Structure 1
Amino acid sequence: MNASDRTPADLLRSALATDPARPLVTFYDDATGERVELSVATFANWVSKTANLLQGELAAEPGDRLALLLPAHWQSAVWLLACSSVGVSVDIGGDPAKAGLVVTGPDTLDAARACGGERVALALRPLGGRFPQPPEGFIDYAVEVPSQGDRFAPYAPVDPDAPALTVEGTELTSAQLVALARENASERGLAPGSRLLSGLAYDSWDGLSAGLFAPLAAGGSVVLCRHLGSLPAAALEQRVTSERVTHRAV
């Protein structure tokens, strides 16, 4: 990756310039049997559309705080990079009442209603499906995002030294996040082409790093598994083989 990259969005742009066709995020939900594979180009397209929704429809600006109430999921990864693209600071599992925006899954709708700003809900259904009945008081992400533009340009430059992520009470700037992701990638022995299988939740830095940021910083990819504990050991080993996994975080 480019040594001058100082935000997660920079890392994604470098990955897109290097090899847009390679896999970046392969997602499994072992409770539903869902499998989704996104190349760098496809993932970046989702990020651009989501960033346009965030900046345009939701009127988010650099420095705004967004409470992210989502599990380890490919759409969660998209939101993390979209926020980085706009300059919005993400509070993982944060208090919606203290945030200007909230993005929630179906299991945390009641908590998310405490947000006085814009509220976005994700059904987290296979293939990015919408809610059968849109939740009252929320924008249905799956309804709004398809019509957004495929290219994104921020209204204002993103400051690498501004707060980008808060997790477990620790606040990181974009530059600190990228530096820590690179450090974690080195510690794990990740390199371009590495495939890291992660069954960790997105509620800690370890989970976020293994499940997105470290593979992205290394020029590798992630096999992100939700509900991995329900998978028999033999089936896990088969997945490791079929997905060409080189490293694990479970």
Structure 2
Amino acid sequence: MNATDRTPADLLRSALAADPGRPLVTFYDDATGERVELSVATFANWVAKTANLLQGDLGAEPGDRLALLLPAHWQSAVWLLACASVGVVAEVDGDPAGADLVVAGPDALERGLACGGERVALALRPLGGRFPQPPAGYADYAVEVPGQGDRFAPFVPVDADGPGLVVGGEELSYAQLTTRAREDAAKLGIGPGSRVLTGLGYDAWEGLCAGLYGPLAAGGSVVLCRNLDRLSADALAQRIESERVTHTV
């Protein structure tokens, strides 16, 4: 990766320039049997569309606070990179009442209504499916995002030294986030071509780093597993082999 990259959006651009066809995020939900694999190019396209939704339709500006009420999921990873592309501060499991916008999954819809700003709901269904019935008070992400543009340009440049992420009560600038991701990936031995399997949640830095930022910063990829505790030891071993996993966290 480019050593001059200072934001997660920079890291994604470098990954796209280096090898757009390689896998970046492979997602499993062991409660539903879902498997989704996104190449760098496909992931970047989702990020661009989501960033356009965020900046355009939702009117988000750099420094705005977005309460991200989602589990570890490939769509959560997309939203984190979209926030970084616009300059919006992603507050993982943040307080909706104090946020400018909220993005909520099915289990957090009632909680998210405390946000007085724009609200977006994600069904988290296989293949990015819609809610059977649109949730009251929310825009359905799966309805709103397909028509967004495939390329994104921020209205104003993102300040790498500005606030970027809040997780576990700690606030990090984009530059701090990127630096820490590189350092922690190096400590774990993650490098170009590494495949990291993780079942950690996104509600703490360790899970975010293993499940997104570390592999992205190091030129690797992630096998992100939700409900991994439902998998038998033999099935897990088979997954590690079939996905060519090099590291487990």
TM category (shorter chain) comes to over 0.9
Deviation for aligned residue 1:95: 0.4
In structure 1, the residue matched to 2:170 is 170
SS state of the match for residue 189, structure 1?
coil
CA distance in 2, matches of 1:16, 1:35: 22
In structure 1, the residue matched to 2:222 is 222
In structure 2, the residue matched to 1:12 is 12
Matched AA of 1:245 = V
Q: Deviations over 1:138-171 (max 9, x none)?
A: 0000000000000000000000000000011100
CA distance in 1, matches of 2:108, 2:62: 25
Matched AA of 1:7 = T
CA distance in 1, matches of 2:62, 2:159: 8
In structure 1, the residue matched to 2:28 is 28
In structure 2, the residue matched to 1:111 is 111
Report matched runs for 1:1-250 at 5 Å: 1-249=1-249
CA distance in 1, matches of 2:175, 2:230: 37
In the alignment of these two chains, the number of paired residues is 249
CA distance in 1, matches of 2:119, 2:73: 19
Q: Deviations over 1:33-61 (max 9, x none)?
A: 00000000000000000000000000000
CA distance in 2, matches of 1:124, 1:27: 12
Deviation for aligned residue 1:218: 0.3
Deviation for aligned residue 1:226: 0.1
* Segments of 4+ moved more than 6 angstroms: none
CA distance in 2, matches of 1:80, 1:207: 13
CA distance in 1, matches of 2:69, 2:45: 22
CA distance in 1, matches of 2:108, 2:87: 25
Gaps of 5+ in 2: none
Deviation for aligned residue 1:193: 0.4
CA distance in 2, matches of 1:150, 1:110: 32
Note the aligned Cα RMSD (angstroms).
0.3
- TM-score (normalised: structure 2): 1.00
Deviation for aligned residue 1:224: 0.1
CA distance in 1, matches of 2:170, 2:159: 19
Deviation for aligned residue 1:90: 0.6
Matched AA of 2:134 = P
SS state of the match for residue 212, structure 1?
helix
CA distance in 1, matches of 2:226, 2:28: 6
CA distance in 2, matches of 1:158, 1:174: 9
Gaps of 5+ in 1: none
- Identity value in percent: 76
Matched AA of 2:159 = D
SS state of the match for residue 119, structure 2?
strand
